[in-house]
Each structure stands twice: as C-alpha cells, then as structure tokens.
Structure 1
C-alpha cells in the first residue's frame, strides 16, 4: 500500500491555527519526500509550480518560528534530558555569515546543540541552538555562553530531571551555573591532557585510578575545589581507557542514564543519513534554524510512525506504559537490526489498509499526548 501519512492531522495538534497547520503539513510532507533541507528541492515536491512553492516556504518562514514551538515536543514522561552537539559541514559556504571552521580548524561548518528526551533507542528533539567559530567571534561570546543560554531556556521544563551530557560539557563554568540554578546533571568527565583534580571532604586529593573490569565510586568529592559532586568510574574490558561520570545524583543511577546517552547519537545518524539534515543552503542563520526545527518536527512524527510499524512487522505490538522508553519483550533479529525510521522510509513493505490506519492512529495519539499533555487538576 502507499505509505500515506496524514501530516495535517499531526500538524493540527502542534499548531493552534488551522491555516498555519495546513501550510506546515504541506511543507513537512514535501521535506519527508525530498529528504533534504534545500528549499528548491522541497519546493519541487510541493503542489503547483516550483517557483510558487518556493515563495510559499519563504512566507511561512517569515510568519512562523518553529524553533520556539519545538519545546512542545518535550515529553513530560521522560526521566532525563539529553544534550549533545553535532557538526554540520558546509565546505562550500565561504560567504555564509554563520559558517565558521569546525574542530579540525580546516573544515567549514557549524555546530548544532540538540536537546532531546529519550524514546525507545532514539530521542525526540525538543530544542536546538546553532553556533560557529564565526558567530562566536562576531558576538564576542564563547561556546560556553551558548551552552548556558540553551540550558537556561530548558530550565522551567526540567524540574527534577537531570541533564545528561557528554565530555564537551565537562568544565567548571557550566557546573557552577547548573548548581546555582538547581539543575541535576550527569556529565562524562573530560580526561584530556589536563584532567581536573578532585579533593575529598578532608582535603586529600582523589586519585582517579582503576583497573580493567573494575568499577569505582567516589561520593562527595570537590571538582577543582569548588563543586561538590559524586564520581563513578568504570573500565569495561576491551576499552582502551576507563570512563568517568560526574553527577549530583546517586552514582549508579547516573551511570545507567549516561549509558543511554547514545540514543541521541543514533538520532543524529537518522537525521543526517535518512532525512538529509546536512543538505541545506540557507544564507541566513535564522531561516536555517527554522528549517532545521521543521525537520526535527517531521522526524518526531516519522519516528513515532516508524516505531509502531517496526513493532507490527517485526516484533510484539508495543503497549503504552508509564515510561515511553520501554521496549517490547519479544523481538526478532530484524526488529533489533533496523530502526523504525529506516523501515518507514527505506524498506519495501506492505500492510492491509486497516493495519496501517491503526498504526497511524496510535502514532497520532502518542504525538498528541506529547504536545498536549494532560494537566492534573484538584477540586
């Protein structure tokens, strides 16, 4: 059967205005077909002539800011929030103001800091921020300033949920800010050439030492003598070095959360490999971020559909439980081998119309529960 996705039904839950929802649905459907962020390629997949469609996309970007609305994808049931940057290469963009050089100092591009909540081996994006060496220099800011700004926007949604971050965020300025704002954190320690020092409550230096296969916990130690936290280190056999995680939570719980951080890496892989996130040519940073936000919204919709489809084709049908990150109990090799998004977009499959409609209905209900969560009231 045709993989028909009622995009407008999803957009009506996301956008309050019916007209805006209809415009977003048309653009979103074309993005999913084109699998690209280039406006010309998206316009070619829309109804009518390409020139007229191109102008409709531009008008939409002027009227709507999907970046601000992306926070509606924050899942209230999530146990934690993942933050991670990824590099977006733009090797030919010599004259684009927001494109600088990446970590290697040669390749042209910029960074996208993505905030997301975990969902069954992947992550549902809920916020983004982009920056580059050029925008940092022009704004007289820093990478650290951009990190703090991104997390400040998330603070009201976090509550007691911790931020789970990789070693790029292992620096004193951010830790002091998180402690001051009362944010829980799980951060991998950066063990570069200048590993920070820790002291215990008695002022003795804590030596970060363990053997392959060993696990060590150091509770209540002081990071550079200024932030009190706990350390947990694990050296898995087969790895070249141990992995240390800093947290203000119970160490074992924090360790399990950090192991789930790879969900966002899989999401980056899907966004770049399956949806063409790197295929963009916007000259203005604002329009680029709006288009990326639209793609993240489309990704969330396709992810929900794909996961339901994966269960129907290759595994036990998923029954919603307290945690949206719960996986089916019985799964076959194909269920474990392929992501739902890959099955939806790349594989050839057939289902009776009634079964596909059931999958869409379940995905639509899950999407509505995320963007319009039930608010408890007391009488």
Structure 2
C-alpha cells in the first residue's frame, strides 16, 4: 500500500481590502484635516487664514461626502452597513466607525452650511444661473456665531474620533506586523494633513488670480507636515532595527527582502524630501507641491493596504496583486474620482473658488 504525500508550499489569497478601502482612507483623511484647517479662519477669524480656511472647508466637504460612498462600496452591498447597528459589537472598531462617521459627516455639513451662509447670500444676489438655488440655501444669509460654534465643536469631536477609528481599525490587526504599530495612526494623520494642504494649493492654483498669501502659508505648513512624516518614518525604522519592539522587527524582516518594498520605501522618502524642500525653499511652485503631496498621501495608503496584504500571514514568498479593470479595481477608482469631480462642480457652481479663496475674515 502506497501513501501519497502532498506538500503545500504556499497558498495565494485574494486581497480582502480592495482599492475602495484605499480611497476611503485617502478621502476621509483629506476631509478631517481639511476641516481642522478651516477652523483658524472661519471659527477663530484669523485674517491671514480666511482664504485657506474656506478652500480647506471645500476640500473637507467634497471629500467628506465622497469617502463614505467608497466605504459602502467596499462592503459590496449597502445593507451590510445596517448590521453594525442591528448587531452592535462594542469590541469592534468598525462598529464604532459606523457611529463616528455619521457624527462627523453630519456635523461637517451643518458647519459648512453655517459658515457659508453669507457667501451663499452673495451668490444669490448676483444675476447668475444658480442664484435662486444659492439664495434658497442661504436662508437669508445671516451669520450665527453661536450655532457655528456648536457645530464646530461637534464636528471637531467627530473628526478626532474618525481619525482615531481609521487608524485603530488597522493597527489592531495583530496578524500583520506591518499594521500592528501605534505609529500607523500618527502617520495617517500626518500624511492626510499634507494631502489636505496640497489640495488647498491646487484649488488656489485653479483660481483666476491665485493668492500668494495662501501659497506661502500653506507651503510652510506643508513643509512642517512632511518633516513630521519623515520623523515618524525614521522613528519606526529605528525601533525596528534596534529590536526594542518585536512587532516592528518582524515587520521589517517581512518587507526588507523584497525589492519592490525597498523601491517603494526609497521612492516615498525621496518624494517626501522633494516636497519638503520645494515647500520650504520654493513655495511659489504651489501646483507642483500640491500634486506631490497628494501623491505621497495616496502612495502611503496604497502601500500599507494593498502592499501589506501581499505579505502572507503564513507561507513563503509574497502574494501578487494586479489591479483589475472592473468595479473592484480601476473602474472603481475612476467612479469615485467621477463622484468627487461632480461634487466639486456642484459646490463651485454655487461658491466659486475665487469667492472662497479671496475671502478675508475681519
């Protein structure tokens, strides 16, 4: 009697978190950081922050509406979202996210409407095609500082909770050492701030008369965010090389042998350094700086989510991921971008970028 032995070398698995998830983490980061950038000029009325804050609020609103749509798409059917409420699990960060996201997005929309009521009234007074809609949305255009303050507090709490949730739900995955680090949520926030500032610079460049004040101030803050990103990355590498944390050392041991990971790390560092130098030394190149910042923000999330799932939990070698052309791949990315563009057109039809960027708070 003969015995046949079958040896399994490796089992290739499909990625569980699709590009939809990357888009969600990308957009929601831009949104809550854009909201935080809106506070100095809109809530605290810092004169030099007026234009930046209104453009940042536009970033926050557009990305804040787009992000949950990408998240629902990643669940494959909207009905699954209801299960977080019907069968709430307090031990799950995803379940808490189902609570935090509506609080943040709802507060953001209220805050944005209260902040832009006077500007909507100005649009409504002009002889334009969208004047009736703007006039109706403004509801008289009166400024209510008390209501705006309450909305700002609620949205700020929601923003911090969303930032905590989006980082923690990845950090708690102990089976993946690359994710299982408290530095990951910090890097999410730092790179998201860079992306939000980059989007502000792009919006400013799209104005008929770009503001040099916005370029200079946003570039300085962008340089600071890039410096923080480099420091957090250096701290992670020091901890991994020193052996102080077995998890960090295991994560480095998993990705260091792979040439594509070494190339991605070198490219990320180079892109961050170039963006930092341009933002600090040549802030006049606002469009290029903004595009580089958005590139770094997206690349970090793609590498962590998609690249991280290419590292097998068990077995040898790496899984290979190729971006599909359908809804779960390239078409999904294009669809989310299309939604973003539609929201951008709708918002700037009522509140043109020139009107937002040229705002000066008294």
Tell me the TM-score range normalised by the shorter chain: under 0.3
Q: Which one has a larger percent strand, Structure 1 or Structure 2?
A: 1
TM-score, length-normalised on structure 1? Answer: 0.24
Q: Which one has a larger percent helix, Structure 1 or Structure 2?
A: 2
Q: Which has the higher contact order (CA 8 A, sep 6+)?
A: 2
